[in-house]
Structure 1
Amino acid sequence: MLLQMIERFLRDEDMTPTRFGRDCARDPRLVFDLRLGREPGDRVRRRVEHFMNTYRRSISR
């Protein structure tokens, strides 16, 4: 579910997976690892969701 949300965000915002991981979690491999089956903890999940919500709000202004 989280990975699907991230993939949609990447498509909608035309952002690379590396930039996304670096900007939201200081982990440029985050998306690639999730694609390979990594299960994020609650802390990472909250950080990712917060980043996507904040990014969208800042762009729409």
Structure 2
Amino acid sequence: MHLLTRIQHYLRRSGTSASTFGRRVVGDPRFVHDLRNGREPRIKTERRIHAWLDRHEEMRG
């Protein structure tokens, strides 16, 4: 699944704001906004976000 799509699914399910997600996961409150506007994250950053989502989606059940 594309990173932005996966993040947006998580945001809807969790009720987390885009800025809170960006701040928690990558230390950048504008991260999701920038992705929506075409930002391409580094591969290392993308892997880190997928790993974070894997852990947090697992905990939610």
Shorter-chain TM-score range: 0.7 to 0.9
User: What RMSD over aligned residues (CA atoms) do the two structures have, in Å?
Assistant: 1.1
Residue 24 of structure 1 aligns to which amino acid in structure 2? V
Structure 2 residue 27 is matched with structure 1 residue 20? no
Partner of 1:50: 51
Listed as ranges, the gaps of 5+ residues in structure 1 are none
Q: Which TM-score applies when normalising by structure 2?
A: 0.87
Alpha-carbon distance in structure 2 between the residues aligned to 1:57 and 1:2: 17
Residue 19 of structure 1 aligns to which amino acid in structure 2? T
Alpha-carbon distance in structure 2 between the residues aligned to 1:4 and 1:59: 18
Residue 56 of structure 1 aligns to which amino acid in structure 2? E
CA displacement, residues 5-58 of structure 1 (integer Å, 9 cap, x when unaligned): 110110011110011001111111100000000011111101111111112233
Q: Which TM-score applies when normalising by structure 1?
A: 0.87
Percent of aligned positions that are identical: 35
Listed as ranges, the gaps of 5+ residues in structure 2 are none
How many residue pairs align between the two structures? 60
Q: Which runs of 4+ in 1 moved over 3 A?
A: none
